[in-house]
Every structure is written in C-alpha cells, then in structure tokens.
Amino acid sequence: MRRIKEQGTADVFDAVSWEPGSASIPVSFARSVGLYTPAIAGTVPSDCAVLFLSPWGFEEMCTRKLWRDLAERFARSGISSLRFDYPGTGDTPDDMEFPGGLPVWETAIEAAAAELHRLCGTSRLILVGHGLGATFAALNAGRLGTVEGAVMMAPVISGRFYLRELAAWSKMVDDGLGLSDEQRIAGKVSVAGLVMPAEIAAAVRGISVHNIETTPARAVLVVHRAARDSEAAFADRLESLGATVTRQVYAGYDDLVSNPTIARQPEAVATAVADWVAALASDAGTAVDPELPSAPAIVTGGEFREEPLRFGPRHRLFGTLCLPKGERRGAAVVLLGTAYDRQAGWGRSATETARYLAANGVASMRFDAANVGDSPPVAGAPVQVLFSAGQQDDVRAAFDLLAERGLGPAVLAGRCSGAYVAFRSSLDEKRCAGVVAINPFTFVWDEEENVEEALRYNPRSLGDYRKRALRAETFRRLVSGQIDIPRAAGNICRQLGSRAARSAPRIFWRLSKFGRLRHTVHASFGRLSERHIPMRLIYSETDVGLERYHAYFGADGAAMKAYPNVSVEIVPGADHNMSPPEAKALLRQRILEMALAAAE
C-alpha cells in the first residue's frame, strides 16, 4: 500500500482485488490509460494473458462494452487481461505528436504488453483485436514476445478501402445528426466527431495484409463477416503460413457497430471467442510473481492531473477524477454520460470539457454508469438502464467520492439522457449545487413509453423536419428510398397530436396523461426553485426535446417564469449532440460559469 497526500487523492490507495460486479483496475503506463482484469480468485492463473487491441473511432465506442464482457469471461477462466487507449484517444493526454504515423501507437502496444506481463506474471500473450486492432495484432505480434494465439475480429485487410468505408460511415453519421455541409469535419479522416491524426491516417492508408509474410501466432481465430471475401481469404493466407486457423462467422456485427446507443452484444460470437481463448490457455501452465498496482493510476497534461479510478460499493463504477494543477476554485462538476457512450463522451467531449474546466481551476468527475462502457451492471437490475431511477444511485456514489476527497460542493451537467439523470438526481441529492441540462429529452419518463423504441427511432422535432425538407440532400435521399417515409410521417403525426392535446382547454388536462405528466414536471421544478438550485436549460434550436419543453411550459416558455432559478438558452445551428465547435465552446463556458457561481 502507498499513502497518498496530494489534494483530491485518497488517504490510502485501495488496492487491487477484483471480483465479478467490480470495475476493472485502472492502470497507467507510457501516457496511456488501461484497465486490468486479473484472473478471478479461486482459479489457477494461466501463463497466458490477453492483450486487447481496440478498433478506432465509432467502432471503438460500440465495442467498449464487448471488451468488458470478454475480459470478465476470461477472468472466470483464470486468464488476466488488459485493455487500453491508444495515444490521443479516449482518456489519454491530448498533447500528442505522431511523427512517422503508426510508431507511436505501436510503441504503446509494446508498452501495454510489457505492463500486462508485469502485472500478472505471465510469459505468453493472446492478442484479441477488432477492426484496425485486429490488423495491428497481425502486424505487431512479432515484437511482443511469445504470442500463443490471436483473435482477429473483422480485421482491416486494406487500409485504403477501410478509409473509404470510414468516410462513407462518417457521412451516414453526420446525416443522421442533421449536420449541414458547413458543420461537417472536412479534409480529415473523422467519424462521430473523432479525428484520426493525419500522420496515423497516412500510415493506415498504406496498410495491406493481403499477402502477409508471417502469421501472428501458431493458433488464430478469424471472426469474419459473411459478405467479406477478403477476410475469408486472409484466413486462408494465415493457414498457408502454417497457422492453425479457426473460422467463425461474425453473426451480429451490424447490430453491434451501428450505434453505441442501440448496440446489441453478439452473444454467440462472444461465447465462441471466450471458449477458444480458454481452450488455448488451458495448456499454458501457471503465471508466477505478479506485481499488482501499488499506487493510483495518474495521467497528467499541461494544466490537469487525472486519476482513473473505481468507486461506489464494491468498486462497481469506473470513472476519472480530473483536477487542476494550480489553485482550485468553484464547485466541482459531475459530467454525466449520454446513452451508452463511454465516459470520454461523444467525440471525446467529456474529456475535453474536464480538461477545459481544470485549466480554469475547476475539478470534475466523469464516469460510466452501471452497465455502460467499463462499469458492469448491477446484479438484479434491468438490462435497460437509460431513463431509470437506478442511475441516480450512480450519481449518489459520485457525490460520495467527491465528499471523501474534499471536493464538494458539486454541480451536475449532462446532455440528453445525461441531462435527464442530472435533473432527476438534483431533486433528491442535497449536495447538488446546480444543474446544466443540455438537450434533455424529457423531465419525467412516461412509463408507457418504450425506452428501446425511443432510442432506436428517436423522432425529430417538427422544426428539424421543416429544416431538412428544404435541403436538396433530403430530396435525393427521398428519391433513393433512404428515408423511412411511414416512420417519419408517424413521428410528425404524433407530435401534431401532442400539440393538439396541450392546446385543449386546461380543464381537461388533469383528466389526461399529459396533464398528470405536466403536473409532475412543474412540481419537480417547484422543488428546485424552493431550494434555490440554479439551473441552465440549453437546447439546440431544432432539438426534439424542445417539443416537450413547449408542451410543459408553453410555446413561448412563459410558464417557466414561475421558476426564477432557471435560465433557458437556445443554440442556433447546432445538432442534438452539439457537434459544431462553437456549440462545444459555448457549453464548456456555461458549465464553467455554473461551477464558479455555485461556490459563491
């Protein structure tokens, strides 16, 4: 054990045990952030450990939960593992340079392998890669020591083709968000607000493993997509090089990578991968002399100091505490995630906001709620955690951590479902000193509404439909059949029906479901007003959440005047995710203002 004396850190580093239901153990090395999952107590620790090699961008966001699930399955078989962020991604520092392109990421892979060997005392590795990570496994296995096996899931065979495919996927994501041509990231390799460094992109463009000369391991599991002949041919090539190749069709790939909010885990494939790795590791002998972490994982940048950590009962949650290097001021900020995005946020927005706050003297906490990203689910809780009261327990645990570190008071900030959790948590959390709610979908959940349906077919606002109808791109997509006309028409009709319901004489409101929901919303705002909790409501100008806001507070928002603690701001030219740089900068500034004002 090592005693810690610095501001915001624990008096005693609470060590390194892991059990099912706990988050994995944070580690830091070579300016990267990793999560180590040791073999579960009671198993014989294998001399083979698994090093995860992640995909990049949108695909990485969608597979984050899959990696956690596989790590836990491996641990139950006595196999330790490490998953980590490449430099310049996720929760790693931002001030990275990439001379020569891929060598910086390849050096990080080597450092991760060395760290894994040190942590668990193994001499052999099994590489598990997805997408670009699977290709890195093929290209880098020779420099990582003894590699017993490699799992290659949807490997990138041609870097040039991959970048073309990524550009098409990026356009689909931007179309889904309703971004105009001026709002899209141009001239760079990007997707979902994430930008691949130019040097990395140039190196990736030159990758081709069609005619690889050396197999990455003696045993290889290729999880290939059914319609990708190049992936099947790659498996044949590895076999011709002497590898024992097992082939597995990647059932459920599209459902996994289509959207992190609605991603469905490929259970059959996960089971096949876990069984294959366990069988390979079963003859590897026993690990010896592990060196478990003896101090907190710390990551530093120009003006911040971050501690990735586990917290809550049984260390069930994973998050990152971000502290200013200089004098601290204002209230701390709890940054709440949106949907199933990992704690770094959409386009790394939460990571960027945390470091902006630190540069201005404000501490913050960002974390994965239970069953999101790297935080495991709560036993017995519903699988669907969004818009559930259970997430308020996670917020309470974050406040407890801040209190333990002497970092109160704190304000809550979140977007969409994160804004909903911020609002609902502020009602009962007496330690909440303020709320910034960005594009809240609603303020009270209608139990008759299906969360899955709302997430998968989230309707647009009438204003957004009008805006899109004027675009030539919309006409092109309509003619080509890319727009689901019946669903769009149904969404419009439902919103028109909602408007008609709230236009009915008020005497009928108390008899309707709408009236009951409206009463609950106003009662909630009334409670916060009585406690003088400052709140900022921030909407993009065509966000669907505005439909409910107007339903509860009037077309002109006049009913909000009853709550002087609340300010409302509309951001022009922004999408639901607040993607434009100007919108991001505005949000960061508003959160900072709330943090500073709340401590006065």
For the stretch 42-55, pLDDT in tens is 899 999 999 999 99
- Give yes or no for residue 125 having a pLDDT over 50: yes
User: Tell me, what DSSP letter sits at residue 142?
Assistant: G
Average pLDDT value for residue range 2-17: 46
d(CA 521, CA 274): 47
pTM attached to this predicted model: 0.89
pLDDT band at 73 (very low <50, low <70, confident <90, very high): very high
DSSP H/E element including 407: none
Structure tokens given for 501? 């319901």
In the chain the domains, ranked by start, together with CATH numbers, are: 25-155+194-281 (3.40.50.1820), 299-458+517-598 (3.40.50.1820)
Q: Do 335 and 365 touch, CB atoms closer than 8 A?
A: yes
d(CA 2, CA 522): 50
| pLDDT tens-place string over residues 442-477 | 999 988 787 777 766 555 444 544 454 444 554 454
d(CA 216, CA 268): 25
Q: Give backbone dihedrals phi and psi of 172, rounded to 5 degrees, phi first.
A: -65, -40
Percentage of the chain beyond pLDDT 90 is 73
pLDDT band at 490 (very low <50, low <70, confident <90, very high): low
**pLDDT at position 394:** 97
Higher pLDDT among residues 285 and 304, named by residue: 304
d(CA 534, CA 411): 9
Helices (H), 87-197: 103-120, 132-140, 159-177
d(CA 319, CA 321): 7
Looking from the CA of 262 toward its CB, the CA atoms found within 13 Å total: 12
User: Tell me, what DSSP letter sits at residue 75?
Assistant: H
Structure tokens given for 103? 């060598």
Interacting residues of 320 by C-beta distance below 8 A, sequence separation 6+: 91, 306, 307, 308, 309, 343, 354, 365, 366, 367
How many Cβ atoms sit within 10 Å of the Cβ of residue 394? 27
Nearest Cα to Cα of residue 343 among 312, 321, 316 = 321
d(CA 451, CA 261): 11
d(CA 50, CA 70): 10
**pLDDT at position 14:** 56
pLDDT band at 478 (very low <50, low <70, confident <90, very high): very low
d(CA 327, CA 575): 35
- Share the mean pLDDT of the chain: 89
Nearest Cα to Cα of residue 12 among 23, 1, 24 = 1
CA distances from 482 to 180, 438, 457 (A): 17, 30, 15
The strand ranges marked E within 325-397 are 332-336, 364-368
pLDDT band at 188 (very low <50, low <70, confident <90, very high): very high
| pLDDT tens-place string over residues 532-574 | 999 999 999 999 999 999 999 998 999 999 999 999 999 999 9
- Give yes or no for residue 415 having a pLDDT over 50: yes
Percentage of the chain beyond pLDDT 70 is 88
| pLDDT tens-place string over residues 237-262 | 999 999 999 999 999 999 999 887 77
